Amino acid sequence: MTDSASTGAVHARRYEDILVVTIDHPPVNALSAAVRAGLARAVRQARDDAQVRAILLTGSGKAFIAGADIREFGKPPQPPSLPEVCNLIEASPKPVVAVLHGAALGGGLEVALAAHYRVALPGARLGLPEVNLGLLPGAGGTQRAPRLMGAQAALDLMLSGRHLSAQDALAAGLVDAVADGDDALGAGLAHARQLLAMHAGPRRTRDASAALADKPAALAAVDAAAERVAATSRGLYSPARIVEAVRAAIELPFEQGLQAERALFLQCLDSSQRAGLVHAFFAERATAKAPELMQARPRRLERIGVVGGGTMGAGIAVAVLDAGLPVVMVEQDEAALERGRARVARVYDLLVGKGRMDADERAARLARFTGATSYDALAEADLIIEAIYEDMDAKLAVFAQLDRVAKPGAVLATNTSYLDVDRIAQATRGPADVLGLHFFSPANIMKLLEVVVGSRTAPDTVATGFELARRLRKIPVRAGVCDGFIGNRILAAYRQAADMMMEDGASPYEIDAAVRAFGYPMGPYQMMDLAGGDIGWATRKRRAATRDPALRYVQIADRLCERGWFGQKTGRGYYLYPDGARQGQPDPEVLAIIDAERRRAGVSPRAFSEEEIQRRYLAAMINEAANVLSEGIALRPSDIDVVALSGYGFPRYRGGPMHYADQAGLPRILADLRGYAAQDPAFWKPSPLLVELAESGRDFASLNRNA
């Protein structure tokens, strides 16, 4: 080792005839302006130093380069640009080796692709996930990746946003070798010295041709990807631009391909979808900023109990087992417990059958799973999650038992979707230990977790709920206590708006189509059929005694449930599902029932346009969300956006209902509400918060800054 130089975020140190350039920009070596400038300076230094024969790029800490610096999002770009840096690296007259450990993502992988050689450590993760932010790799990634791994593999990588392991990257051709151990510097130096001993010079990715040698096959892969994107991306902007960029890599010389990529990147950058996706990204990060987390640390969390082995309880158990924690499930009798065991095992059997898990891993996870028919089996659990059916008396009985057996300091959680967490906590002697953990079905897949904080829930209980979410790799959102919390309370409002439109003349199929056209994967009636109409029916019957008589009540759903038409599980609901079909068909009998209900209610049906359906649906959603916010049920507008995005299918590229309202303009939303209120003032009463913001020229985003 000889002389060294430091430029702050990038350090250069010569090891004999190899200049080691280390990115040192905690926590993940993101590509800030200082990092880009430091890399450019170091490469030029190596170029001009006669004693340097090779360059080694490495990252300090836990990553190579995890991507762009999010702290620079939305700010004017500072030189040098990343494409300039990558081109400078690739043009080096001396061989450049990148040694990858931890994350090499987005622009970080583009830097590595610009290097002449790449070696990865076993734990490295490589990816080009810009599509998740409405962008495409804009520093040569769409041109270099296909030249190394072929068009189809490169398209799969960029369109999915997924990460490759080191071994998968080796097989794909993105890296040249996978080193043993965890010494990035040692592995990189060894690889560079081996190259020098072989008198290997620069090997520029731009000149690679083997992976695209079969041009007709490469273009066929692009055409297939274009068709797939058109069919599955539901209006997303950047995927089609990615496909175009890869086509340019095949059809154009490298420099022209870079120019095409840059033009397409700038189109994505200017897209409203990028703004929505970036908002969603930051909104998810902001959910962890709960006041209780500033006050307390989580409690011990090593053993988990689950009460209930139904669909939800089994899904929760799988999520916990997947996180590496042991689970004990308690059911009322052996038969119910065996059904719960079978549901858990079935999840893993399906994964093994699909090749996504091997038999040994299945066995390891199930080895952490035990069951019992006595609450006493929960005596050592650090956190116990009740996941039985939605009935207050039943839940109170469970919590009385949990209060009897739980050890001091154990957290007791209810998975209720609607019920009063404070009342449930009163069944115990320690309401400070009680909170709601509202999982979304299927609980082992859905990312959202509402952490419901009761009036007496202790800060460290809340912190423990957030810590469980972190371990389960879920997105936690703090919610206050009300009927339905954040998501289901807002859902009730826009479903009511949909029901009123249905009774007023729109068919459920027209409403579903309009909601899908907005960007949802499913409309409200498709979703009801999927979830099961009996669930909503039970809630409506529970609320019947306290229903506001001034509010309109549409009975169409009740008529279907009275016939036992609960959706997919019964073969018919709003749609028909012949022979167990997953895709429903419109049902003429449902339309006849709707017509009969219109006559009973004295409604003269009228036509609704797609735009009118969307505007009413969204106005109801946004208005109730404003009420949820003003009552303190949600901490900030962006939290409501996360709930809608992660739990209810709101199109991610639109950023969530509060972000969408800001983009559409709060005065327009308020004008719509006031127009609808002329016919139905009880339901369409504008939220005071929405009125205040719209009339003062402010938006919901201003409240995110103050949260």
Active-site residue numbers? 110, 130
Burial class (CB in 10 A: 0-12, 13-18, 19+), 31: buried
Question: Dihedral through CA 457, CA 459, CA 460, CA 463, nearest 10?
Answer: 100
Do 650 and 273 form a contact (C-beta atoms < 8 A)? no
Name residue 670's amino acid.
Answer: L
The distance in angstroms from the start CA to the end CA of the chain is 50
Judge contact between 226 and 243, C-beta under 8 A.
yes
> Please, which residues bridge with residue 479 across strands?
452, 634
Whole-angstrom Cα distance, residue 586 to residue 598? 19
- Distance separating alpha carbons of residues 115 and 226, to the nearest angstrom: 30
- With beta carbons less than 8 A apart as the criterion, state whether 174 and 164 touch: yes
Is residue 56 a contact partner of residue 189, using CB atoms and an 8 Å limit? yes
Residues in the chain: 707
Residues whose CB falls within 8 Å of the CB of residue 162, separated by 6 or more in sequence, listed in order = 127, 129
Describe the strand order of the beta sheet including 327-330 as a list of residue ranges.
369-372, 327-330, 304-307, 383-386, 411-414, 434-439, 448-452, 475-479
SS (H, E, C) 210-254: HHHCCHHHHHHHHHHHHHHHHHHCCCCCHHHHHHHHHHHHHHCCH
In whole angstroms, what is the distance from residue 353 CA to residue 428 CA?
44
As beta bridge partners, residue 125 has: 103, 165
